[in-house]
Amino acid sequence: MADDLKGPTLSLGARQRQPPHEWLSFDQEPLTQVEATYIQQVKLENLLLFVPLIIVIAVIGILVNLPSLGLLGMVTTALLLAGLISYGRHKVAQSLAYGVFDHEFVMQQGVIWQQKIALPYSRLQHVSLSQGPLERRFGQHTLKCFSAGSGSAEITLPGLSSSVAESLRQHLLAKAALVRQASSAPSDIEAHDNLTDTTELASQPNAPSDPATSSDKHE
């Protein structure tokens, strides 16, 4: 009896380990570097930022009557810090790259701390383009990708030319719309089938009553 009460046994296939050489990787496809003019834009930004700052530091040192050695040391320190920051921004700009794949949009950046972001089209909600004064001077745009449920941009990609930026924005929005349309198709088919079944049940005639039951009611 106990054996008869046992349900059917489910046979699950054994899980197999996938070797590393079969793992899918974005590194197999080369990424596209941002425009070379973006590097020139970053250099100009560094000059506009640090040259006035160093001049202000030197003027303040003169106004407060700092000793010559103290003023020289302060200006030298400011120059070293400006040089290090400028060099770091330059290297980060050179590391910027992006890739448009079948199912996701990828961006990488960083020199010491490298970062690679992959945003699936299924999560892509909005794509915007922005252009500051210097970007307008060099014909550059910054592309920002926002995901569903996130208030800030998941991907911020500067250094895109005007023609590439607009084409890329339209392509990403089109891919996201296609993914959402494909994911909603099964649910629409299921809803249509349920509606068809309900209509067929409603159109069926009522079953005839049992004669025996009718006679019992008369008695």
Residue 198: per-residue pLDDT = 54
Residue 129, SS3?
Answer: strand
Residue 197: per-residue pLDDT = 55
Distance from C-alpha of 145 to C-alpha of 117, rounded to nearest angstrom? 11
**CA geometry: angle at 176 spanning 171 and 181, to 5°?**
125
Residue 4: per-residue pLDDT = 46
Question: Tokens 């700009």 correspond to what residue?
Answer: 93
pLDDT in tens, the chain (219 residues): 444 444 444 444 566 777 776 666 656 678 999 999 999 999 999 999 999 999 999 999 899 888 989 899 999 999 999 999 999 999 999 999 999 998 999 999 998 888 999 999 999 999 999 999 999 999 999 999 998 777 789 999 999 998 899 999 999 999 999 998 888 765 544 545 555 555 555 555 554 544 444 444 444
b/e string for 126-136 if b means 16 or more Cβ within 10 A?
A: ebeeeeeeebe
- To the nearest 10°, report the CA torsion of 161, 166, 168, 173: 160
Residue 149, SS3?
Answer: coil
Burial of 86 (0-12, 13-18, 19+ CB in 10 A): middle
Distance from C-alpha of 79 to C-alpha of 57, rounded to nearest angstrom? 10
Tokens of 174: 């089109």
Kindly provide the residue ranges of all beta strands, DSSP E only, lying in the chain, ordered along the sequence: 32-33, 97-100, 104-109, 115-120, 124-130, 140-147, 155-161
Q: For 213, left (φ over 0), alpha (ψ -120 to 50), or beta?
A: alpha
| Single-letter code of the amino acid located at 8 | P
Contact present, 147 and 125 (Cβ < 8 Å): yes
